[in-house]
Amino acid sequence: MDSTPHQEQGIQPGSDTDVAISIPSMEAYYAFCKEAEEDYEGFWERYARQLLHWTQPFTKVLNESDAPFYKWFEDGKLNASYNCLDRHLLNGNADKIAIRFESDRGEVTHCSYRELHAQVCRFANGLKSLGLKKGDRAVIYMPMSVEGVVAMQACARLGIMHSVVFAGFSAKSLHERLVDVEAKVVITADEQMRGGRILPVKAIVDEALGLADSQTVENVIVYRRTGGDIAWTPGRDRWMDEVSIGQPDSCPAEPVSAEHPLFVLYTSGSTGKPKGVQHSTAGYLLWALMTMRWTFDLKPDDVFWCTADIGWVTGHTYIAYGPLIAGATQVMYEGVPSYPNSGRFWDIIQSHKVSIFYTAPTAIRSLIKSSEADGQIHPRQYDLSSLRLLGSVGEPINPEAWRWYHKHVGKERCPIVDTFWQTETGGHMITPLPVTTPLVPGSCMLPLPGIMAAVVDEAGHEVPNGQAGLLVITRPWPSLARTIWRDPERFRTSYFPQALGGKLYLAGDGCVRDKETGYFTITGRVDDVLNVSGHRMGSTEIESALVANSLVAEAAVVGRPDAVTGEAICAFVVLKGPRPGAEDAARIAAELSSWVGREIGPIAKPKDIRFGDNLPKTRSGKIMRRLLRSLAEGKEITQDTSALENPAILEQLKSTK
Ligand code: WT7
């Protein structure tokens, strides 16, 4: 068969001029940027028409009339699952491997695009038979599994909005989310396997559903992962395989509007409860595909592996949607990097011949640490010659970790793409391009074509290169989140604040551009959001969890630098009773830590809890967080403390003991 490179990668060339699917040089990069600047809508229109399969082509590109609630391609219709699966069956890629799955214990299974399509269709038909339909909402609370992707794709196929909740969140967090989206169905697993251990999953769903206000849930569908004993509610609970069995292998993909909500994903903000970040169908999908091509320079024979969990946005865009719409072969791994030993990642790269490896700095740092210990496992013991490109995501990568990754994993021949983006941006925003941009450790380099990034001051005015400021995006782009579920006002005030004029998208990160080159370096969050192991946590969320404990009168939470997790959570606590002595302090700290684990999830547990008679406050009663940050870090207080009502408190809070 005569196949062009486009067909091999699953793209049907359209009738108009071909759009670029890779950026081969810096000249090309600047030419694309110029194209986007000169005709912004035309730029996006060309890609959207050519890269997505539409059941009804759009006639409008961007609607800004209700800013910041932008709409893209709004009168077009399409289906996300059709774009991810069916298109590959039609262009000769049906038997290409879509997913190679490796379990915690090392068993490997794989499925082709044809098989994945059939599995998604059967499950979608099963969901239909339970009465689920377009516009309904599903919560997915599942471990890393092909079935997790099947659940997401089946929802997308029917126009059901999904909300995946990371299976490490507590019953209470899960409950909050399923009440907020008014889920009609929860898709889960009996148990999960991680690091050689079996952990409960369905039991947490049962607990969440036992809490008040969760009556919208009619069914719980359970993927049988371990076959372990679980409680069962007849009539409500069903096994996933039984829902699918006997269902036809095909299921019409429901055409939805380009703006139809594909999913909501909860993420932490600087205040209040987690925000339900809602994404659209077409704009999100388009950028998932474009960034797979541009950032990862994806080729037909690549084996792509993103180590994220499907519970985070990285697992949505670069596991459940991006690699599939791009027609790639990807590896999915169930477990943790350290099991059965810290060579597991290298072993997977070697045995699956991974060519593109995408992971988080925290994983790299933990593997550096274990490889440096005497007699420990080191990447040099593995054949990593299949690698051609490395990626980093989730937090700033420190230059030492960057160099180690570059030297020992990439053998100094693989470029590293340090991709800056967020749950709200849907896909990569600022990143080096693997084949073009020179690499600078620790810098995300340049915004992708079509992304208009700038660094501004507190009034929204651009600052000169070399000067630190706030990172903003000055024009809406297709994969920008559409709103915060059930709270559009919060969307407006959080991301398009009046202080900056109401038109700039505020990322919440500090940034500085290089004086000569203009390259962007992200300096970290400028709000009270912590980044622990690449996971976003709001300090107020943890504070609320702490004060919900009957022993606690008041709490303040800050981040402090940590060699492995990037930031660690440090909590300053005032008890209702007297300040505990050393022995009691250790016991109460342990109790509070597991309390936070139950309230939010283990990832939110403070690493350091200190007790005081009070917290450092100004005379008007405001907690002085910058002083707490210095205390958490163990730094001498050099700041001005004259506003402090109770300076003596600083001594008390200096150390854990
Ligand atoms: C926050 C977004 C990106 C998907 C996973 C996390 C930080 C993310 C980088 C990077 C420096 C980064 C930012 C951002 N961040 N990537 N390459 N360099 N910082 O998504 O949970 O929405 O968190 O992660 O602070 O605002 P998220």
For 18-68, what is each residue's pLDDT tens digit? 566 889 899 999 999 999 999 999 999 999 999 999 999 999 999 999 999
Pairing assessment for the beta strands 161-164 and 108-112 based on DSSP bridges: unpaired
Largest Cα–Cα separation, the chain: 80
Question: Which atom of ligand 1 is the closest one to the Cα of 268?
Answer: 21
Task: Decide whether any atom of ligand 1 lies within 6 Å of the 267 Cβ.
Answer: yes
Q: Distance, CA 504 to ligand 1 centroid (Å)?
A: 18
Q: Minimal CA–CA distance to 526: which of 515, 512, 543, 545? A: 512
Mutate to test the pocket of ligand 1, among 277, 419, 422, 479 (most ligand atoms within 8 A of CB): 422
Residue 392 CA: which ligand 1 atom is closest?
17
What's residue 286's pLDDT?
A: 98
Distance of CA 505 to the CA centre of its chain: 19
Answer whether residue 178 shows pLDDT above 50. yes
What pLDDT digit, counting tens, does each position of 439-496 carry?
Answer: 899 899 999 999 999 999 999 999 999 999 999 999 999 999 999 999 999 999 999 9
Nearest CA to ligand 1 atom 12: 395
pTM here is 0.94
Ligand 1 and 427: CB distance under 6 A:
no
- Whether the predicted pLDDT of 657 surpasses 50: no
Q: Select from 495, 536, 539 the residue to mutate for testing ligand 1; criterion: most ligand atoms less than 8 Å from CB.
A: 536
Burial of 375 (0-12, 13-18, 19+ CB in 10 A): exposed
Task: Write out pLDDT tens, residues 573-613.
Answer: 999 999 999 899 999 999 999 999 999 999 999 999 999 99
Model confidence at 374: pLDDT above 90: no
Ligand 1 contacts CB of residue 509 (under 6 A): yes
Return the ligand 1 atom nearest residue 524 CA: 25
Residue 521 forms beta bridges with which residues? 512
417 three-state secondary structure: strand
At 609, give phi and psi (nearest 5°): -125, 125
For residue 180 and ligand 1, the question of a CB distance below 6 A is answered with: no
Cβ–ligand 1 distance for 420 under 6 Å, the answer yes
Name the DSSP letter for residue 104. T
Q: How confident is the model at residue 656, as a pLDDT?
A: 53
The runs of H, that is alpha helices, within 447-557 are 488-495, 539-547
* Greater pLDDT, 435 or 286: 286
- pLDDT, residue 199, reads 97
Report the C-alpha dihedral over residues 582, 584, 587, 589, rounded to 10 degrees.
-70
Ligand 1 centroid – CA 394 distance (Å): 4
pLDDT of residue 73: 98
The proportion of the chain whose per-residue pLDDT surpasses 70, expressed as a percent, equals 96
Would you say 109 and 334 are in contact if contact means Cβ atoms under 8 Å apart?
no
Say yes or no to pLDDT of 109 above 80.
Answer: yes
- Alpha carbon of 453 to those of 26, 396, 511: distances in Å? 18, 17, 11
Ligand 1 pocket residue status of 393, Cβ below 6 Å: yes
Residue 425 Cβ contacting ligand 1 at under 6 Å: no
Measured in Å, residue 588 CA sits from the centre of ligand 1 at 33
Cβ 428 under 6 angstroms from ligand 1: no
- Closest C-alpha among 285, 257, 244 to residue 47: 285
Residue 12 has pLDDT above 50, yes or no: no
Confidence of residue 253 (pLDDT cuts 50, 70, 90): very high
Question: What pLDDT was estimated at residue 27?
Answer: 92
Q: Is 423 in the pocket of ligand 1 (CB under 6 A)?
A: yes
- Spacing, Cα 493 to ligand 1 middle (Å): 20
**Mean pLDDT computed over 420-426:** 98
576: burial class by Cβ within 10 Å (0-12, 13-18, 19+)?
Answer: exposed
What pLDDT is attached to residue 19? 66
Residue nearest to atom 21 of ligand 1 (CA): 536
CA of 531 to the centre of ligand 1 (A): 8
Residue 564 CA to residue 567 CA, distance in Å, equals 8
What crossing angle do the helices spanning 26-38 and 40-51 adopt, rounded to 10°? 110
* Averaged confidence pLDDT in the chain: 93
Q: Please answer whether residues 240 and 57 qualify as being in contact, where contact means their C-beta atoms are separated by less than 8 angstroms.
A: no
Q: Do 360 and 307 form a contact (C-beta atoms < 8 A)?
A: yes
pLDDT of 310 above 60: yes
If one compares 622 and 12, the residue with the highest pLDDT of the two is 622
C-beta 536 within 6 A of ligand 1? yes
How confident is the model over 69-84, as a mean pLDDT?
Answer: 98
Q: Decide: residue 8, CB within 10 A, 0-12 exposed, 13-18 middle, 19+ buried.
A: middle
Burial of 233 (0-12, 13-18, 19+ CB in 10 A): exposed
pLDDT at 11 over 70: no
* One-character DSSP codes across 594-628: HHHHHHT-GGG--SEEEE-SS--BBTTS-B-HHHH
CB 567 near ligand 1, within 6 Å: no
